[in-house]
Chains A and B, each alone.
Chain A
């Protein structure tokens, strides 16, 4: 068996990972432990935990982490509430295969449009002079326009729009993979509909659900543009990182990044524990 060709084929992927993933992450961790970095010659000075100390004793840390976690989880939850029924109905209630693929293609179109355009597209709806406010005011329900767009509400709406597809797809794929014989078997064994759903369908779709949650969670963690532009003053971890980087305070920015990476890795660990990805992917 010629084994070296196997490793040759894996080389591109390996090089990609090493140079653009492992080394950058390594540098982040290293600089997070540095005192300062001279930007001109790129010299790293010092090995210290002072950045971490600073981080964990800062009063804003808890607030910011709370904000970040909280909004991430809420977003996951909202996306889940919207996406699961959608995926479920799409899988089980739409019989025609063609319509299924049309709907999926339809959903992809907005995704292809630039994120910026998608977000400013909400201005005519949620803005101060937008549809919602105008309607509410003309109905006399409110006197002043509600600031929907530049607050938490706007944040969630935009995040929902951006990431709901990433929640929907894994769930949809998982639901599609369920062997219809299993559902039949449950029905034949006289299971009431809600038990059929919970015990069979939901549990079998769990790998997809977990994937979707992890993905949306991690994406919202790293998304600093949306809160920055649209949530006005709402501080998240990602935003902090970009601020410090912009001010050339690299070590502290890297410390924050390391914290974020650890959170993401913890999420990955949970994913791998709950869902045996390898079984889904590997045949052997």
Chain B
């Protein structure tokens, strides 16, 4: 990678922004090894206790080390399940809808605007509305509730992204295939799907990411341990902020970085193909 000095001020600006964005995270990682329970400087000593110290029996909430905090791991796994489900469902709905909205059919605009609503309506209204509608319809809040909320929000995003990235000649390939005696199902299997597969995968990953980082809407519909975001929120509301949470944050960062590397690898495969 060659680093030229052209446009240096611009590059400095970009670097500064990145540093500012990362500064808190770096501090989190650094301070997670702090002996002191206070989350600020100075660092009184280095320890791994916040990560792996065996609980002596009287710790609670903010003082249990990450490794032994069962509710933390439960919340984490919940988050993973919810996010994966949201990702897959988003991907499915977005693909079906994006492919069909290309054609001029009556009612297309209405559906498109309805879907856009999912991203415009503020999270709190969606959360509130869904809690109430679940009560009215007699549905019990379940695993699927936060999933659907995340999907409602991710679908408009994913839809716009996918449709904007469709190969302009896609429809022509499909029409040619039709004229070459391929039934609609065959066209989908042999022509459409292979040509949009990376967009489909991106939609799934996108849905996953949005669900993973969501907290506002979910807050309304989940009680108890719930997913990661609501769990940490509740904990912080009742417990003091301690270094333990920095340790948790570091672990989450590590997971996110790993996930991102995978995502970047998938992206690079996609651009290589093109």
Check whether chain A touches chain B (CB < 8 angstroms): yes
Is the beta-carbon distance between A110 and B114 smaller than 8 angstroms? no
| Nearest-neighbor residue (CB-CB) of A108 within chain B | B260
Q: Which interface residue of B23, B119, B125 has the most chain A CB atoms within 10 A?
A: B125
A123 to B27, CA, bound (A): 10
A 183-218 to B, binary, CB cutoff 8 A, 1 in contact else 0: 000000000000000000000000000000011001
* Known pairs A5-B184, A13-B93, A115-B229 / 13 extra A-B pairs, C-beta < 8 Å: A13-B155, A17-B115, A86-B14, A94-B11, A96-B1, A101-B267, A105-B260, A116-B236, A120-B236, A121-B246, A225-B215, A241-B128, A282-B163
Instruction: Write out the residue numbers on chain B whose beta carbons fall within 8 Å of the beta carbon of A129.
Output: 38, 40-41
A102 to B3, CA, bound (A): 14
Is the beta-carbon distance between A114 and B249 smaller than 8 angstroms? yes
B141 smallest CB distance to A (angstroms): 13
Q: Which interface residue of B111, B117, B129, B160 has the most chain A CB atoms within 10 A?
A: B129
Total contacts A to B, CB within 8 angstroms?
280
Instruction: Write out the residue numbers on chain A whose beta carbons fall within 8 Å of the beta carbon of B259.
Output: 112
A82 to B39, CA, bound (A): 28
Instruction: Write out the residue numbers on chain A whose beta carbons fall within 8 Å of the beta carbon of B256.
Output: 109, 112-113
A98 to B219, CA, bound (A): 38
A246 smallest CB distance to B (angstroms): 10
Instruction: Write out the residue numbers on chain B whose beta carbons fall within 8 Å of the beta carbon of A221.
Output: 122
Is the beta-carbon distance between A280 and B117 smaller than 8 angstroms? no
Interface presence of A36 (CB below 8 A): no
16 A-B pairs (CB sep. < 8 Å): A5-B184, A13-B97, A28-B125, A90-B14, A109-B253, A114-B228, A122-B24, A124-B41, A129-B40, A218-B121, A221-B122, A222-B122, A222-B123, A241-B125, A257-B129, A268-B117
A78 to B226, CA, bound (A): 34
Is the beta-carbon distance between B120 and A214 smaller than 8 angstroms? yes
| Nearest-neighbor residue (CB-CB) of A118 within chain B | B24
* 8 Å CB interface, A106-155 against B: 106-118, 120-125, 127, 129-131, 134
| Nearest-neighbor residue (CB-CB) of B29 within chain A | A121
Interface presence of B171 (CB below 8 A): yes
B168 smallest CB distance to A (angstroms): 6
Which listed residue (B14, B93, B109, B267) contacts A103, Cβ 8 A? B14
Instruction: Write out the residue numbers on chain B whose beta carbons fall within 8 Å of the beta carbon of A28.
Output: 125, 128-129, 132
Q: Which interface residue of B23, B111, B128, B152 has the most chain A CB atoms within 10 A?
A: B128
Is the beta-carbon distance between A123 and B13 smaller than 8 angstroms? no
Is the beta-carbon distance between B92 and A12 smaller than 8 angstroms? yes
B109 smallest CB distance to A (angstroms): 7
Dominant secondary structure at the B interface = helix
Is the beta-carbon distance between A25 and B121 smaller than 8 angstroms? yes
* 8 Å CB interface, B239-267 against A: 241, 245-246, 248-249, 252-253, 256-257, 259-260, 263-264, 267
Is the beta-carbon distance between B209 and A112 smaller than 8 angstroms? yes
Instruction: Write out the residue numbers on chain B whose beta carbons fall within 8 Å of the beta carbon of A171.
Output: none
Interface presence of A31 (CB below 8 A): yes
Interface presence of A167 (CB below 8 A): no
* 8 Å CB interface, B139-160 against A: 148-149, 151-152, 155, 160
The 8 nearest A-B residue pairs measured at CB = A222-B122, A24-B129, A121-B24, A117-B249, A112-B256, A89-B10, A93-B7, A13-B97
| Nearest-neighbor residue (CB-CB) of A129 within chain B | B40
Stretch among B48-56, B100-108, B195-203 lining the A interface: B100-108
Is the beta-carbon distance between B248 and A124 smaller than 8 angstroms? no
Instruction: Write out the residue numbers on chain A whose beta carbons fall within 8 Å of the beta carbon of B215.
Output: 114-116, 225
Instruction: Write out the residue numbers on chain A whose beta carbons fall within 8 Å of the beta carbon of B24.
Output: 110, 118, 121-122, 125, 161
Instruction: Write out the residue numbers on chain A whose beta carbons fall within 8 Å of the beta carbon of B246.
Output: 117, 120-121
A277 to B220, CA, bound (A): 31
Instruction: Write out the residue numbers on chain B whose beta carbons fall within 8 Å of the beta carbon of A222.
Output: 121-125, 216
Interface presence of B173 (CB below 8 A): no
Q: Which interface residue of A85, A111, A161, A265 has the most chain B CB atoms within 10 A?
A: A111
Dominant secondary structure at the A interface = helix
Interface presence of A178 (CB below 8 A): no
Contact size range, B: 35 or more
Is the beta-carbon distance between A21 and B132 smaller than 8 angstroms? no
Is the beta-carbon distance between A98 and B124 smaller than 8 angstroms? no
B269 smallest CB distance to A (angstroms): 12
Instruction: Write out the residue numbers on chain A whose beta carbons fall within 8 Å of the beta carbon of B130.
Output: 20, 24
Is the beta-carbon distance between A267 and B120 smaller than 8 angstroms? yes
Interface presence of B25 (CB below 8 A): yes
Which listed residue (B7, B28, B38, B101) contacts A117, Cβ 8 A? B28
A 240-266 to B, binary, CB cutoff 8 A, 1 in contact else 0: 011001000010011001001100110
Given contacts A42-B135, A114-B228, A280-B164, contact A109 B122 (CB under 8 A): no
Interface presence of B88 (CB below 8 A): no
Instruction: Write out the residue numbers on chain B whose beta carbons fall within 8 Å of the beta carbon of A278.
Output: 109, 112
| Nearest-neighbor residue (CB-CB) of A126 within chain B | B24
A 213-241 to B, binary, CB cutoff 8 A, 1 in contact else 0: 01100110111110000000000001001
Is the beta-carbon distance between B41 and A20 smaller than 8 angstroms? no
Is the beta-carbon distance between B121 and A21 smaller than 8 angstroms? yes
| Nearest-neighbor residue (CB-CB) of A162 within chain B | B213
